[in-house]
Structure 1
Amino acid sequence: MPPDTPSPRPGWTRLWPLGLILAALGLAYALGLQRYLSFEALAEHRAALAAFVAARPVAAPLLYVLLYVAVVAFSLPGGAVMTLAGGFLFGPWLGAAAAVLGATLGACALFLAARHALAETLAHRAGPLMAKLREGLARDGFWYLLSLRLLPVVPFWLANLAPALAGMPLAPYAGATFLGIIPATVVFAGIGAGLGQVIEAGGRPDLSVILSPGILLPLVGLAALSLLGAWWRRRRGGR
């Protein structure tokens, strides 16, 4: 091998981003940090959180976005609580915007880590099947992922990892994630904006409202439209 040719890196060296995420996830569970991503913790510390936001109106939303990035990137449970907290602390619109930004950035971080660690290895081992899947995702992946994001019944972590392992490009992944999570996030942030009254009454927010026909059917319709867009692109490409 010529002296100026870089030697190939061992396969295990590509795993460090995913290993870092798994180590952070294990540490978070060991320290019990997941307990703070619960409705009970939000209800218990609501006064202190509201006072912090009032005292630091600029730093508080930025800190919230960073925390949301960490929750999504490390696949910690509590994304729904984080979105509720955003609406409760910052109002429905600013809370929804901060949640969408944090969730998108966190999803992109997890996507890049998984793709760097595993996508190339899977591509070599899967052969023609993975190559065909990569081609399809490169062409229509935006529309397929958008339909998954629009439906709140699809686990968020699964929709983060599957496109990365299949070799989907980052730009359509980020765009589909950003646009696809907006509707459900706005609904959850709106619920969170009225959370103070629910907590004072000693109740819990009814998150099943997202599955009610008035909310779910429009989301299903949007998902169907995104799949229609993929079909139309494929039809035109066939022509």
Structure 2
Amino acid sequence: MAKATQTKQDPARKHPVLRHAPLALIVLVAAIGAFTLRDYLSFDTLRDNREALLAFRDTHFVVMVAGFVAIYFTIVAFSLPGAAVASVTGGFLFGIIWGTTFNVIAASLGATAIFQAARMGLGKSLAARMDASEGTLKRIKDGLNQNEISVLFLLRLVPAVPFFVANLLPALVGVKFRNFVLTTFVGIIPGALVFTWIGVGLGEVFDRGGSPDLSLLWEPQVIGPLLALSALAALPILIKAVRGKKDI
């Protein structure tokens, strides 16, 4: 009876293809989107449609919010081009406070979706193999498990780490779901503030015939605090290493 119940509750175990289907779908859509959407999810498109977007926001605010979050969620969940454009658009349409809020919510939901898809299939089997392995691979896995919060915050705070890598890598090494969600939501806030801030002044940039300067992220006054937060996130790992509790 127990065996039959377990099989009934976990059909993906009987049909392994089902476990990999969500991630396979994401990879397929991401590949198609990389070639077909790059010219549409751009600042030029935003510039050409800004008056219509602002007018629709003023008359249908709730619908605009729902549509924006849904589009941003889809971009992140399927690793489509245009995440930076979406983040800046949030500031352009909704201002610094609400723009940051909607950006963080949409990006966190999208990241969680791709994390779950990867963990359900490839991540589940890969994590099991790492647990069963010996030597260096096992030590790396154990080190990550001991420092999940710190490592996940580092992945979010270091600008050089691509967002999709920070979504997939944790799933492939079997981190806890709650830790991923927490560090994603909190860890992307600093970067979201920067992109939203750029978007707030986007109207003036368009009026001058220019394009938003995303290189602002690498200015000392911006990158400095982000690196300081990264160092703070890495501090517990360094302390453990110095004390000899865990060599990572």
Q: TM-score, normalised by structure 1?
A: 0.90
Query: Unaligned stretches of 5+ in structure 1?
Result: none
Name the structure 2 match of 1:89: 93
Name the structure 2 match of 1:33: 37
Selected match of 1:118 from 115, 118, 122: 122
The superposition leaves residues 151-207 of structure 1 with CA deviations (integer Å, 9 ceiling, x where unpaired) of 222111111111110111111111111111111111111110100010111101111
Q: Take 1:85 and 1:40, find their aligned partners in 2: how far apart are those partners?
A: 12
Name the structure 2 match of 1:223: 230
Q: Take 1:22 and 1:61, find their aligned partners in 2: how far apart are those partners?
A: 27
**Does the CA contact (< 8 Å) of 2:30 and 2:80 recur in 1?**
yes
Q: Take 1:196 and 1:3, find their aligned partners in 2: how far apart are those partners?
A: 62
Summarize the Cα distance change of 1:125–1:206 in structure 2 as closer, same or farther, 3 Å threshold: same
Q: TM-score, normalised by structure 2?
A: 0.87
Selected match of 1:12 from 7, 17, 20: 17
**Does the CA contact (< 8 Å) of 2:95 and 2:200 recur in 1?**
yes
Q: Take 1:89 and 1:201, find their aligned partners in 2: how far apart are those partners?
A: 18
Q: Take 2:31 and 2:213, find their aligned partners in 1: how far apart are those partners?
A: 30
Name the structure 1 match of 2:50: 46
**Does the CA contact (< 8 Å) of 1:133 and 1:166 recur in 2?**
no
Summarize the Cα distance change of 1:69–1:3 in structure 2 as closer, same or farther, 3 Å threshold: closer
CA shift for structure 1 position 19:
1.9
Selected match of 1:204 from 207, 211, 231: 211
**Does the CA contact (< 8 Å) of 1:140 and 1:233 recur in 2?**
no
Whichever residue aligns with residue 15 of structure 1, its letter is H
Name the structure 1 match of 2:166: 159
- Look up the SS of the partner of 2:152 in the other structure: helix
Summarize the Cα distance change of 1:139–1:124 in structure 2 as closer, same or farther, 3 Å threshold: closer
The superposition leaves residues 9-56 of structure 1 with CA deviations (integer Å, 9 ceiling, x where unpaired) of 2433311111222333345456x3332211111111111111111111
RMSD value, Cα: 2.5
Name the structure 2 match of 1:23: 28
**Does the CA contact (< 8 Å) of 1:123 and 1:130 recur in 2?**
no
CA shift for structure 1 position 231:
3.6
CA shift for structure 1 position 133:
3.8
Q: Take 2:235 and 2:46, find their aligned partners in 1: how far apart are those partners?
A: 40
Identity %: 40
Q: Take 1:2 and 1:100, find their aligned partners in 2: how far apart are those partners?
A: 42
Please state if 1:144 is matched with 2:151. yes
Summarize the Cα distance change of 1:227–1:63 in structure 2 as closer, same or farther, 3 Å threshold: same
CA shift for structure 1 position 98:
0.4
Whichever residue aligns with residue 187 of structure 2, its letter is G
Q: Take 1:150 and 1:208, find their aligned partners in 2: how far apart are those partners?
A: 17
CA shift for structure 1 position 123:
2.9
Query: Unaligned stretches of 5+ in structure 2?
Result: none
